[in-house]
Every structure is written in structure tokens, then in C-alpha cells.
Structure 1
Amino acid sequence: MLKDQKKYEGGQFLLGVCYYPEHWDRVMWQKDFRRMVEMGFNVVRMGETAWNVMEPEEGRYQFEMFDEAIEMAAAEGLKVILGTPTYAPPAWLTTKYPEVLRVDFRGVRMEHGSRRHYNYTAPIYLRLCAGIVTMMAERYKGHDAVIGWQIDNELNCHSDVSFAESDHKAFRQWCKEKYKDSLDVLNAAWGTAFWAQTYNAWEQIHLPRPTVTYHSPSQLLDFYLFTSDSTIRFAELQYEILKRLLPEEQFITHNGLFGNIDNYELTARTVDFMSYDSYPAFQLMRTDLQYPHKDRLSGKQLSRVRGLSSKFTVLEQQAGPGGQIGNVLNNDRGDYLQATPKPGQMRLWTWQSIAHGADGVLYFRWRTCPYGAESLWHGLNLYGDQPHWRLEEAKRVAKETRMLEDVIIGTDVVAKAAIMYDYANDSNVKIERYIGFDYWNSEEQVYLALSERHLAADMLSKQNLAEAQALSQYELLFYVNAQLLTTEDAEKLRIYVEQGGTLVLGPRSGYKDRHNQAYMEPFPGVLRELAGVSVSDFTMLNPGETNGLSFTNGGGQSPAHVFNEILEPAADAFGNVEIAATYMDDYYAGQPAVTIRKLGKGKVVYFGTFFTRESTSKLLDSLQIADPLEQWAHIPEAIEVVSRQGAAGLYYMLLNYSSQPVAMHLKRELTERISGHPLVGDIVIRPYDVWILQA
């Protein structure tokens, strides 16, 4: 994770809501703020959707509405986080300057009438964004109630690409800078000798455009790298303005992890710390995942945020069923309404965020809006002010977090395992779609297998390889999707292993360079020496075909699906390479599928097929990695356990995602901090309940 990050130093857990004064009559504001405080809230977020209010005409700024709203909130004792309103430009702007509008791949311009319909490269849009951000910062930089700022809102939500004319020009300039003004270097990097694609003038360079058939994979990779960089530069413009104008005590953040952004670079260049928007009900809606408690997977994204910022906030936490309507004419996107969280789930999901590292949580939203595309996105309050169990549940969370600030503030998540990812490889699986989903699925399966063994895992970007000391805290490092790697990357991984770490690599690792071109050597390319194996053959499985893994030493069997590599231990490393599993069927039955090489103080595992929960669990058995809680408890896999540790001690946060009670056994007495009760022996945790055990 990134070092020396600033965090909110208010000494209290931030708990509150998102509030939109522009949606409500002024007579409602004071009552709303007072009710928030009565519930135990201490912070509100506002401002990110109100550019049309703050600048109703170009150059005419009016902040009276937010002056009054902030003063009212402050008078009730609430702190305020302000959002810059640049994700929803007003109609006067897009009408006067249509060049700011986003254009899709087919050349269709996205018009006013929704949100995020702008591009990141139009000079006039950047100038107007700088104007509104500067005026906001000048206005509220000295306000005691304002504790922080959110840049934009959910960068790249809904649409994460644009092909406007300014985007093509910016891409051309980006390529000139990357390739040192040399078309020869660009042509070599893109492999344009194939299909006579060679370019001989910079005017011929564009973002990918509609073609008869396949694009150059190397050009596509640069397209994704450029898209991320242009997004980050857009946020960086605002960050530099805010950093210059704001007092040191006001923090700067951004919310969400969306497509086509290198979030490590975004965090390093544009915020003091990262934030997240947590909506576990999206996991529950998934039809591609067969798992009884899908909302548990929200922890993976929270772990990714934690890998960027050890202290973070959740600026939108699910407070009811989410829903969006109005896409009837956009046939590629459907409308939806999620199931209402069951009693207990909203509290569970809030504690899920806290367990995974959040030092602040804001529910989205205070009131359900009666109009607009999100009129089905339900907040704590329904359309009226009638009493509701979700309000009571939020009040309970407020009471618990106040009581347990010593458990939250100043404590850190304890993780001995990590899953590594990087933006270039994540982008490449979009290009190699024939197996792209399987890499994403593998990463999820590994995360769930670790979680079921009560091994918390940090999600780390590849840039963390530069921090050898930081990596040394992890005993186990999975690098599931490592196709694009350099010799420098391989060397850093070698250092991690030799110092005592266990590295687990997935299929097709290390076989391509940073330009998305295959190395002219046997798989796994630059990792062949480190892994101590070569890939002698490989195959996709035809539809309907199956294969399996047979783990050695009685380790059992598990599926080997989609894609299989047949491994061959290197002759010079044979004595240090153990065959951990072989294939069960087909022409390569009995051939090595999983190998373990001892190197220095550590080990390198090469896993020649995609991961499942079952195969990952069996691999952990082969590596003799047990449930760390076994010494003092028997806690079933269904219960997630995340530990937070600080000066006052170690705390185990237990989360039951099941609709059923779950029995467990504690071998020694521990205090459950929420109830204050001592627990020992055979005990049962209720459905959707949360326990915090003090070691």
C-alpha cells in the first residue's frame, strides 16, 4: 500500500449520510440535520450533484444554498464532506460547448439528460471544472465544519471510455510522449507488421475505431493505459487546486473502484487516501457466481481499497434496496431494483466495511428521492418520514461504533496473505476475452478460499513489488493474473521468495512483455527460471469437456477446467521441484499440473490451470497452511473472521452472512465487546449477526 498517507484526525469514527439540499425544500433541512444527530450521526456529504445550482450560468456563481445548508448542519453538530460537482455538468455547458460530450465507439455522441456524459480531454471542460472547483475551495476552505473533499463522484461509473475528437488528439499526443516521438518505436511496440498496419504519419494514429474484425492487442493495451491516464489527469487537475487552496486539516479523497482506472496511480497522484462505495446487494444479484453468501465477496473490493489506503472511508454504504430506471431507450442497459436488505443485513454490511478497514461510513442516502433515475434507490428514510426498521438498525450501528471506537480508531487489519493484481494485466483480460472472465473468477475463488480458512488477504497492486520490506509481512502471495511481466518484475518476485515468502502463480504467467507481445521462449517466459518449470504443452477444453486435478500424498481431487498447461520441471531445478498435482484425464493424464519449487527461504507454486475454491483449498493443504484460529476455536467456514490490532490489543470481528444460526466452539473464554458477555464452549451466532471478540 502507499506510504505516508494522510487520514482524518478527528479522533472519532465518522458515521453519517449523503444529503442533497438541492432536492428538498429548505424547511426540511434543519429537521433532517437534527434527526441525524439524534440517531448518532456526526457527518454529512453534499454538493457533488449541484453544479447547476452553484453556477447557473457560465461565470455566475451562487453558493447561498450550500452556505445555508452547511451552517445548519454545523449548528446541529455535524461535520461536512463536500464533493466537487464535475460528474454532472449543467445543460448550459453541454449546449454551449458540445465538444465536451462523450462519444461512444460507434461515434454516437452522449447528450445531456443523464450523468457522466462528458469526456476528460476537452480543454474547455477542464477549464470550467477548474473554475467551479476553485470557487468552491475558496468559499469553504476556512469553514470549521468542512473536514474533507471528495473529487468528482465515482470516476468511470456507467461509461469508462470515450472517443471524442479531443480524445483522439490526446491519445496521439500520449503516444508521442510514450514512444519518444518515434513512429518506428510505436510500430514495433504495436506489431503493425501484421496485416499491413504500419503507420508512417502521426495523423494516422487514433484511438481504436470500428473495423471489419480484430484490432491489434498491443494498440488496445495502450488504449486502456491511455484511458486510465486521462482519467487520472482529470482528477489530478482538481487535486492540485484543492491541495493549493485548502488548509492541511481538510482531507481530499475519491469514492469507488470502477473500470479502466489504475487505482494505485489514482491514489498516489490525486487523493490523500482512497474511499469506496459499498453496495453488497450487487453481489447478491449475480447469476454467474454459485456461492451461498455472495455478499461476502464485497470484502474483496474493500480489501482492494485497503491495499491502496490502510485507512479509508466508505462514502456510500447501502441503506436499502438500490434501483435505477429510465434506460428504456438505451437497449444495452437494463433497469433494476434490488431485493430489500433483510433485517440485520444493513448492520452486517456496515460492520463488514469496518472490519475490512473503514474508519468512516456514510449511508447512501438519508432520504429516498421521489423523482429522477434513482427514485428507486432507497435511503434510510422512505418517501415519507414514517418509522422504519432500517432507521433503527442504523441507530444501533451508531451506538455500537461510539461504544467501540477503541476497537476501530488506531487499529489495523491483520493480513498474512495477499492477492496481487495490476492494471495492465487486468486490461489484458478484457482483450483476451476467451479466458478473461476465468481470470476474474479465479481471483474471486482464491479470495473466498482464503476467507473460508479465516486468512484475511490484502489486495495489492504490482507497484508494491518495489517495496520489498512491505511485502515481507505476507507469508503467502497469490499472483493469479500475471501474463504481462518484465524481467525486473520477475527479479522482485524472486527476492520476495528468497526472503521467505510463498508465491503462487496462475496459468499463462510471464509469457508476454509490457507491449502485449509474447516472449520468444517457452512458457512461463520471464518466470521460467523462478518457477523451475517449463510448459511443455497446453490446451483449451472444448465445451462439455472436463478434467481434474489429483493432488499427491492423498490430497484429493478437484476440477481443472477451461485451460490446462502441462508442466515439465526444469532439469537444473529438478531436485527442488515437487509435483503437487497431476491431471486425471485426456492425453496428458498423469502429467504435472501443479508444482512447488523451494527457493531460498521460500517457495514458488506454479498452478497450471484456473483456480477454484476447492483446488485452492487443497493447495493450501499441500502447503500446510492451516486455519490460524484452530488453536483457540473451531469456527465454521461460513463465518468470516477479520482481525484488527492496535495498542490496546487484538480484536476478532466475526460476521455471519447466513440466514441461519451457526454453531461454533471456543476453547478459551473471550469477551464479546458489543454485548459485553464472556463466551466459551459451544455457542451460536444468530443470522446476519456480528460479534467482536477481544483476544
Structure 2
Amino acid sequence: MTIGVCYFPEHWPRERWERDVEQMAEAGVEYVRMAEFSWGRVEPARGEFDFEWLDAAVELVGGYGMQAVLCTPTATPPKWLVDERPEILQVDRDGTTRNWGSRRFTCFNSDAYREETERIVRRFTERYADDLRVVGWQTDNEFGCHDTVRCYCDDCAAAFRDWLREKYGSVADLNAAWGTTFWSQQYDSFAAVEPPRPTPAEQHPSRLLDYYRFASDSVAEYNRLHADLVREANDDWFVTHNFMGDFDGLDAHALADDLDFLAWDSYPTGFVQDRRQGDPTADELRAGDPDEVGMNHDLYRGPETPFWVMEQQPGDVNWPPHAPQPADGAMRLWAHHAVAHGADAVLYFRWRRCRQGQEQYHAGLRKADGSPDRGYREAARAADELFDLDPVDAPVAVLHDYENLWATEIQPHSPDWNYWAHLRAYYGAVRRHGVQADVVHPDADLSDYALIVAPALHLVDESRAAALGEYVAAGGRVLFGARTGAKAPSNKLHDAPAPGPLADLVGATVDQHESLPEPVETRVEYDGVSYDYRTWAEWLAPGDARVVATHESGVADGRPAVVERDVGDGAATYCGVWPEPELADALVSDALDAAGVGRTGRLPESVRVAERDGFTWVTNFGDDPVDVAVPDGTEFVVGGPTVDGFDVAVVDAAPSDLDCS
């Protein structure tokens, strides 16, 4: 495990470079990412290439014992290329062209842009094919950032029709799958199908879901172009991509097949402001939400592979609504937290605060004048403390699928419905009990997990239901959340009541559902205790399932809210409400105990523990200190029994052996 930095030598005078690189080495940096936005610097005019500056930077990095990670520079094509080939530009839903002048303005389905991509990526990769100082590549940069996965240009319209033709074969089958008799939306040919441009009322949900799938597949295909070119030049290089947190436009699972491992960009104090429900607390403004960050770590970590944090927040950042300074210790805390969740490298973005352009108000490990900023010494300390580890071994799987996200986003049925927040209601309960979880696709191999938590399995077909049934019959336990199995993959309701093909497994169906605004009292009774829930409620019609919770409010009063059914050597639980944290804790802790998963008691709100390779990290995302009681003879590898605010301790004991208070 090590740290790295993102460096832009083209932003600085050549005479400064060696001092920068020397200071990186002094801080314990091993990886230096470069060149991601460098197309205009490398090719200032068509066919006129200048790699000399990048050659020199790579040589410096290698000369100080570090390794270079290079990037394909396609997120920012130069102006001359847009002037020559304007057809590469994206088009918004309303027909507005996304113009040159920032980044991420090109269409993934443009044949012209794919030609230019192949040309420039080949020049880059062939240039460094035999350079041992280059260890791997990042494809492009943050696919889909700025809401750019979905384009609505003529190239995308044609590609969408081809995608539909391949999927359905005939327009009659498309009409049947979508259910186009509603509002007379039938098609007489694939040529009649357009991208979902603005309409007076809402779009057909099946058409939208297929367009979201198509757009994501287009990005995956474009990424594959990059990955193939990199491996063609040198198949010893690793290939990765830097994804984003709580990002809903792109199916990361679909890109994973073409990458050696996944990476993502972690900005905790930004995420808690712009992509999470609710106002952040004072502590969260200084260090973020450990479960928001942690769930993204676990999503991008494969069950048997590590991940990288390709961009780690180094201080204040420019893009959220507000730019609070992180707490003292937060930049070190984040590195430890990432490693505890399975990261093998954490690269801080950026090395130096930039003096020009859109990101001048984004901190670096060094200030614009080259002097150390607050994050520099924290990153150096993290580099000194971290060590190599085996991958995470998680006993729990939390199921996540982008198609389920898109389907509930298309028809949320409540302005308060948020897929990520609902998923995190259950994920957070697992983490509050000190248990590692893999966030995995529902069709992954689930046989080795003691417990599966499936909060939002909205789209279910017979094959997926059968696989889950086999898992439970063999002794597994599943905890399903509300809205499970309501629809088929076509985004149409099943003929049978929800949870559709899963009804036999859970032993119940959904009789009624409702969504409610926050002021309405919503409560259920579970195991003799009254608990709050929020936003979504179902009352259930049990068959051979046991009723374990009943509604205590509204028209659902007295009706079943949570049921459980034993199947073979396992059991399935169905929760028909969106649980508030106390109810989620009760449901999840009971499920963990029934599955034989060791756990802690409920941890303090800002404290999380995570085990990796026999060591347990105690991370404190709050200002108040926490005391950690450990068994006699336990060694603290980092820190000690009192973990101060925004600090960390590492012990050689299991989480279930610790008492944090």
C-alpha cells in the first residue's frame, strides 16, 4: 500500500519540476499520475507532436524512484480539432450543442471522435511502450462527469436504433417488451425510434431505461477502445479508470470487464454537500460521511481485487456549494480509511494548487508557490504508516445494480426517493456493527457470503429469483428491502403482485404501497419495540411467512410490514418500509447474528471499524475522542487506545473483540 499524487508539469516552469519531484519522493510518493488533460500541449496543431516535455517529466519521476501512471488525454480535445470536426460535439436533450471551452463535451458514439481517439491514444501508448518507468494507464478522465453520459445527437440516434435492433430483433418484439400501446406509442420500424428528447409529459419508462442502458454501453465500448490500444502497445501495463462517488449515469460493472482494477475519485467534504440527502453536520463538513465514502470504496473494490483512490481530496476543493477546510488529520484519516476498505494506492489530487484555469480554488498538497500546504505532511505521515496487505475478506454482500437505480430514478413515486440513500440505510447498518461488506452486482457469485442484503432489487426476472432461492436453500440468509421485485427488466410491472418471481421465496406479496412526506408519522413495531421509517411503505399479504413487524400508523395500522420465511437451511426476510437508522440497525444486527457473522455493538455515530488481513482500523470521523478497549496482549500498530477526533488507530485484533465508546 502506498500513496501517490496527480501532477501537471505542463502548468509549471521547467526549472521547478525537479524540485517538485524531489519533494514527492521525500514525502513517500510512489505513483505520479500525469497527462490526463494534455492533448493540446502534446499536439498543438494536427500532426505536430511535442512529447519532449512529457518525456522529461517521466524521466524525472523514474529518476527519483517513482513510477508514472499516464492517462489517455481524450477528455479535453483541443480547439483546432473541434473547429475541424464539429460533429464530435455532444447535444443536450433540448438540442443545444455542448461547446468547446471546458471538458467532456464530445460524443461517445461519434465515429469522427472515435477515429481521433484511436489516433491520439495510439501515439501516446506507442511512445511509451518500452518505458519501464510507466507502470500503467488511466483511460480518459471521469467518464460522464458533468452529466455527459447521455447525448442526444444524430449519431446517438442512429446508434440507439442499431442497439435496439440487436437487442429485440424485430420492432414487434420491441413494442411488446416496452408496452407501447399506452398513449399510442407504437413504432412501425426501428427508424421511427428517436432518443428521448423533451416531451410535455413524462417519457415512457421502458424507452427511458433502454436509452440509459444504451448510453452506458456506449461509454463501455468507448472505454474498451482505449483499453485495447493500451494493451496492444504493452500488455504488462495495468489499465484502470477513475470513476466518481454516488455516480448514477454509468454502469461501472459494465466497464470493469475491460479494466484490471477500478479506481475512483474521493472528495468527502464535497460529496456530503452535493450528492447526499440532508444537511451535513459540522463534523461531516470537516471530514465527510464515513458510510458515503465507505460504500463507494466497497463498490469499486472487487470481491477479489483491490482498488485505487485515483484522486483523494488534499484540502479545500472548488466545486461544492461551500469549501470548508478539512479538519486537522482528515487527509491522513482518509488514506487509512481507504486502505481499511481495500485500497492498494491513494493518490492525492493535486500536487500543487493551480494558478490558472477553472480549478484555482482547488487545494493541492503544496501551495501555488510550492510551499507545503496542510495536506502535505499528513500525506507523508500516511505514507510512512501504511503497509502492504492482503485483500479484504467480506462476509456480507450488499447488492447494487445500476439498472435498478435507473428504474427507480425514472419512476421514483416520491420526490424524497433516492436510490443511494435507500441503499445506504442498510449498508450503514452493516458498517455501524463493524462488518466488512462487498457492494456487488446481483448476478455475481454470491455463494461464499453468509448474508446478502438486497435493499433495492427492483427489477427481477425468473433466473435471478431462482439463483437467490438456491442460495437461501443452501443455508444463506437474504434481507430484502422495499420495492423489491416490483418490475421485470423491461421496466414493466409483473403480472403477479410484487415481489414478483421472489414471492415464493419470501412467502408473501405486497398488497398496497404508498409514499409519504416527512411530516407524516410513520412507525412499525418490531420485536416489541416501536421504530420510525420514512418515505415508502408497503403492507404485506403473508402466505407461509412469519410476520415479524407490523405497521403502527396510518391506514396500514396493524398490517404486516416485515415478514420472514425459513427455506431449507436458510431464511429470507422482506422489509416493506424504508427504515430509519434504528430500525435498520435492529433488522441488520438480527440478520448478522442469525448468519453467524461476528460484529461489534452499535458504534458511535462518527466511528467506524474495518478489518483487513488480520488488522482492524478504528477511524474517527468526528471531533470527540473515542476510547478503544482491546483484549490483553493486543498491539496497536498505529495510534493507541484513545483515538482523538479525526484520528485513526490500527490494532491486531478482530472488530468483534473491540469495544469503542
TM-score (normalised: structure 1)? 0.89
* Alignment pair present for 1:558 and 2:516: no
- Alignment partners' CA distance in 2, 1:193 and 1:497: 39
* CA shift in 2, pair 1:309/1:274, >3 Å: farther
Instruction: Give the secondary structure class of the aligned counterpart of 1:42.
Output: strand
Q: Deviations over 1:254-289 (max 9, x none)?
A: 111333221111001x21111111111123425723
CA apart distance, 1:664: 3.2
Partner of 1:642: 610
Partner of 2:657: none
* Alignment pair present for 1:658 and 2:622: yes
Of 249, 252, 263, 2:239 maps to 252
Q: Deviations over 1:171-208 (max 9, x none)?
A: 1111111111x111111112111111111133211110
Of 513, 527, 533, 1:538 maps to 513
Partner of 1:101: 89
Partner of 2:441: 461
Instruction: Give the secondary structure class of the aligned counterpart of 2:358.
Output: coil
Equivalent AA in structure 2 for residue 177 of structure 1: E
CA apart distance, 1:505: 1.1
Instruction: Give the secondary structure class of the aligned counterpart of 1:691.
Output: strand
Partner of 1:315: 310
CA apart distance, 1:129: 0.4
Partner of 2:638: 674
Partner of 1:488: 463
Equivalent AA in structure 1 for residue 650 of structure 2: I
- Structure 1: gaps (5+ residues): 1-12, 325-334
Partner of 2:293: 298
Of 506, 514, 517, 2:492 maps to 517
- Alignment partners' CA distance in 2, 1:592 and 1:557: 14
Partner of 1:421: 400
* CA shift in 2, pair 1:434/1:536, >3 Å: closer
Instruction: Give the secondary structure class of the aligned counterpart of 1:149.
Output: strand
Segments ≥4 residues shifted beyond 4 Å: 290-294, 626-631, 633-637
- Alignment partners' CA distance in 2, 1:309 and 1:130: 32
CA apart distance, 1:433: 2.8
Q: Deviations over 1:310-360 (max 9, x none)?
A: 211111111111104xxxxxxxxxx74421111101100111111111111
Q: Deviations over 1:70-96 (max 9, x none)?
A: 112211222100000001111011111
CA apart distance, 1:593: 0.4
Equivalent AA in structure 1 for residue 367 of structure 2: L
Name the count of aligned residue pairs.
Answer: 641
Percent identical across equivalent pairs? 33
CA apart distance, 1:630: 6.5
CA apart distance, 1:399: 1.3
* Alignment pair present for 1:120 and 2:108: yes
Partner of 1:547: 522
Counterpart contact for 2:315–2:364, Cα < 8 Å: yes
Partner of 1:267: 256
Instruction: Give the secondary structure class of the aligned counterpart of 1:303.
Output: helix
Counterpart contact for 2:273–2:280, Cα < 8 Å: no
Counterpart contact for 2:451–2:592, Cα < 8 Å: no
Q: Deviations over 1:196-243 (max 9, x none)?
A: 111113321111011121211000000100010001011011111111
Instruction: Give the secondary structure class of the aligned counterpart of 1:288.
Output: coil
TM-score (normalised: structure 2)? 0.93
- Alignment partners' CA distance in 2, 1:25 and 1:598: 69
Q: Deviations over 1:553-583 (max 9, x none)?
A: x3x121133222111221xxx2xx2211100
Superposed CA RMSD in Å reads: 2.0
Equivalent AA in structure 2 for residue 691 of structure 1: A
Partner of 1:567: 540
* Alignment pair present for 1:161 and 2:142: no
Superposition pairs for residues 190-229 of structure 1, below 5 Å?
190-229=178-217
* CA shift in 2, pair 1:669/1:46, >3 Å: same
CA apart distance, 1:509: 1.3
Of 257, 272, 278, 2:266 maps to 278
Counterpart contact for 1:452–1:638, Cα < 8 Å: no
Of 452, 457, 465, 2:432 maps to 452
CA apart distance, 1:118: 0.5
- Alignment partners' CA distance in 2, 1:93 and 1:259: 30
Counterpart contact for 1:267–1:308, Cα < 8 Å: no
Counterpart contact for 2:277–2:421, Cα < 8 Å: no
* CA shift in 2, pair 1:164/1:308, >3 Å: farther
- Alignment partners' CA distance in 2, 1:356 and 1:691: 14
Partner of 1:398: 383
Instruction: Give the secondary structure class of the aligned counterpart of 2:173.
Output: helix
Of 343, 349, 372, 1:358 maps to 343
* CA shift in 2, pair 1:543/1:15, >3 Å: closer
- Alignment partners' CA distance in 1, 2:535 and 2:602: 35
* CA shift in 2, pair 1:438/1:158, >3 Å: closer
